[in-house]
């Protein structure tokens, strides 16, 4: 049984349909990358899974339980955590205080402040520093660490590398690889295709709210993903694969 099953999901922003009949599944311990152009529906899909956006149709099944109508705070307790685009830390709180805001809201488990600082060593010397003074990479690490403090079974990561210098992205992804090696289940939205293909077992490509390409990362070429990304007909035609 899948840890997460998304069944014929629709999501709207007013009259705009951002997600169209999306179906996907994640197995426990799997890392799946969700790619696509700006406006493809990736962020709305993640927010809908997390409970931050109400679906217009379809179902969400988490570990055998229908969570479609369950509010976001209860999904956190079930084991779903979202790292949103833009990090959204509490700027006036320290790194440690930001981590502790999530510490009592999720499931019991192994993630503590000290373990997060071990997984993200760049944060260790910044423990008592206010979030507003952190660099972009430090904020991203703190945002991921805060999500881990809820001891999630499913980690939703939105735009991990957006706006960060390559050397900082290297550091963040080194920590992500550690999570993956330890069996984390991750659905990752990533604009950097090389990064996505380097960590994910499967790639899903969205276009205009739909999943138009899906496959094992080792079997998909960059050219085929790029074609789907831009909606070229040869990517959408099964006979061309």
CATH code for the domain in which residue 47 is found? 3.40.50.300
pLDDT of 66 strictly over 60: yes
Mean pLDDT of 32-49: 96
Q: State the residue range of the domain holding 232.
A: 4-240
Residues 133, 114: Cα–Cα separation, whole Å: 21
Per-residue confidence band for 240, with pLDDT thresholds at 50, 70 and 90: very low
| Averaged pLDDT, 200-219 | 96
* Residue 239 confidence (pLDDT) above 70: no
Q: Please count the helices (runs of H) and the strands (runs of E) in the chain.
A: 9, 10
Instruction: Over range 148-172, report the average pLDDT.
Output: 87
Is residue 168 classed as helix, strand or coil in its secondary structure?
helix
| Count of the separate structural domains present in the chain | 1
Whole-structure pTM value = 0.90
- Please enumerate in sequence order all residues whose Cβ is within 8 A of that of 128, keeping only pairs 6 or more positions apart, or say none: 94, 95, 96
pLDDT at 234 over 70: no
SS3 state of residue 99: helix
106 band by pLDDT with thresholds 50, 70 and 90: low
């Amino acid at each position: 049984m899948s840890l997460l099953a998304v069944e014929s999901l629709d999501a709207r922003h007013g009259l705009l349909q951002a997600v169209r009949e999306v179906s996907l599944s994640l197995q426990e311990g799997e890392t799946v990358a969700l790619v696509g152009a700006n406006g493809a529906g990736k962020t709305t899909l993640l927010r809908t899974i997390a409970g931050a956006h109400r679906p217009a149709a379809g179902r969400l099944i988490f570990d055998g339980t229908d969570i479609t109508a369950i509010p976001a705070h209860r999904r956190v307790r079930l084991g779903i955590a979202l790292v949103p685009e833009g990090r959204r830390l509490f700027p006036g709180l320290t790194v440690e205080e930001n981590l502790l805001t999530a510490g009592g809201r999720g499931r019991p488990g192994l993630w503590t402040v000290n373990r997060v600082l071990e997984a993200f060593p760049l944060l260790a010397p910044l423990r008592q520093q206010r979030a507003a003074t952190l660099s972009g990479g430090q904020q991203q690490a703190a945002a991921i660490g805060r999500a881990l403090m809820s001891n999630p079974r499913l980690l939703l990561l939105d735009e991990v590398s957006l706006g960060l210098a390559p050397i900082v992205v290297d550091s963040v992804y080194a920590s992500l690889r550690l999570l993956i090696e330890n069996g984390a289940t991750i659905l990752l939205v990533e604009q950097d295709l090389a990064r996505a293909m380097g960590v994910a077992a499967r790639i899903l490509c969205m276009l205009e709210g739909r999943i138009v390409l899906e496959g094992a990362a080792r079997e998909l070429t960059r050219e085929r993903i790029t074609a789907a990304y831009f909606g070229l007909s040869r990517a959408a035609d099964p006979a061309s694969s």
